[in-house]
Amino acid sequence: MSRIRLTDARVRDLRPKKAVRNVRDTVLPGFGVRVLPSGGKRYFLHHQHEGRRTWRIVGDPDGMTVAEARDKARGMLASIRSGRPALEDETLFEAVAETAFRRHGRNWKRSTLAKNRNYLRKQILPWFRGRQIAEITSQDVRDWFASMHATPVSADRSMPVLSVIMKVAEADGLRPEGSNPCVGIRRYSRLNRDRFLSDAEFGKLGKALRGTKPSPAVSIIRLLALTGCRSSEIRTLRWKDFRDGHIHLRDSKTGPRTVWLSSAAREVLDGISRTSPWVFPAERIEGPMPRMTLINAWAEIRKEAGLKDVRLHDTRHSYASVAISSGETVPAVGRLLGHANPTTTLRYAHHAEADAQRAAVAMGTVLSERRT
């Protein structure tokens, strides 16, 4: 970090680099100017008082001279030392959070944006609203995270949202570089909820489906078992997305993708009347079948099949497991499921390997008994 006597001309001549640059003033300790890779510049005050480091944005060089910024920084120092730090609205946590959502919301799917907004409103803002973004420490984040021990899923999903906000604060010069307080905090460990159907359980499910009165919900469940798709992908399917014997999803969780169909899956779709743009339309309103209609139907079918602990999403896990245990490669199964990251598919390979190990142990026992 360089140190020079800041003047208007010197600040104006500072050029951006690939990384953030902090240039300290030799006249007022703790005062300086941050040069962002974008070319933006901000006067800052970095001060330690009673063992606590404080980072404040003083202002923008386009709106004040060095002398004015230095005087304002002196006033901030006096406020900090008196215990009455002045608040800057634009550096409050909630203001930076809005900036982060405006900036990153364009890259999030609509459903992801809605979920992240919900985590911000319910989990994050009640704890951090009104705080200066630069004064939030790792201990503050640890305390917040610990307060949600009773809801570990919400805690784990809120943490990345908070981390994005902190990254934006650093990028905009509102926090020191490399000061993200979310880094290094371990997430809650949760029991793996993945459930895989055995061959016998698949048989029970098939029998329950055959014994249930035909309905759109039953057809959806059949397709889920035959394709490994997410329930929302089939429930909201449009006829124009089914062509050339395949399903062409315009917007899945990982973006547009093609779902390759077996003859059994195509038979299910070919047996449905085309009375609506939706393959599975709602009964009383325009649009796809409501989620709860499908959930209620699944509850009845799994009860009939004696699979009370099986979730509808477990048909996807089971599809992947069967594909891998049948000899399909991890990349091929990843394409079938629309996984963006091969690591996601590997967990099904581990499940298949565990089944093979159990089978080897069982065969060893059987052969040993025969030998004796």
Angle at 85 between CA 25 and CA 141, to 5 degrees: 95
Closest CA to 166 of 143, 132, 126: 132
192 pLDDT above the threshold of 70? no
The better pLDDT of the pair 176, 251 is held by: 176
Q: Are 279 and 272 in contact (CB under 8 A)?
A: yes
Query: Pseudo-torsion of CA 146, 150, 154, 155, nearest 10°?
Result: 10
Determine the pLDDT at residue 300. Answer: 92
Tokens of 113: 């944006």
For the segment 296-307, what is each residue's pLDDT rounded down to a tens digit? 998 999 899 898
CA distance 187 to 368: 45
Structure confidence at residue 362 as a pLDDT band (50, 70, 90): very low
Q: pLDDT per residue over 128-164, tens digit each?
A: 988 888 889 999 999 999 999 889 889 999 999 999 9
What whole-number percentage of the chain has pLDDT above 70? 78
Q: pLDDT value at position 321? A: 61
User: What pLDDT does 334 receive?
Assistant: 52
Of how many residues is the chain composed?
372
Q: Write the CB contacts of 154 (distance below 8 Å, at least 6 apart in sequence).
A: 119, 122, 123, 148
pLDDT for the residue numbered 309:
82
Distance in angstroms (rounded) separating the CA atoms of residues 316 and 252: 14
- What's the chain's Rg over C-alpha atoms? 29
Residue 360's pLDDT band (cuts 50, 70, 90) = very low
**What is the pLDDT, as a whole number, of residue 91?**
78
Closest CA to 320 of 312, 310, 328: 328
- Does the structure show a pLDDT above 70 at 357? no
How high does pLDDT run on average in the chain? 81
* pTM beyond 0.75: no
Decide if pLDDT at 224 tops 90.
Answer: no
Report how far apart, in Å, the C-alpha atoms of 102 and of each of 92, 117, 214 are: 16, 11, 46
Under 8 Å between Cβ of 31 and 70: yes
Confidence of residue 322 (pLDDT cuts 50, 70, 90): low
Measured between alpha carbons, how far is residue 236 from residues 5, 41, 100, 227, 247 in Å? 63, 48, 31, 15, 12
Q: What is the mean pLDDT of residues 8-29?
A: 90
* Percentage above 90 pLDDT, the chain: 33
pLDDT at position 163 is 95
Instruction: Give the whole-angstrom CA distance, residue 226 versus residue 218.
Output: 12
Q: Which residues contact 258 (CB under 8 A, 6 or more apart)?
A: 246, 247, 248, 249
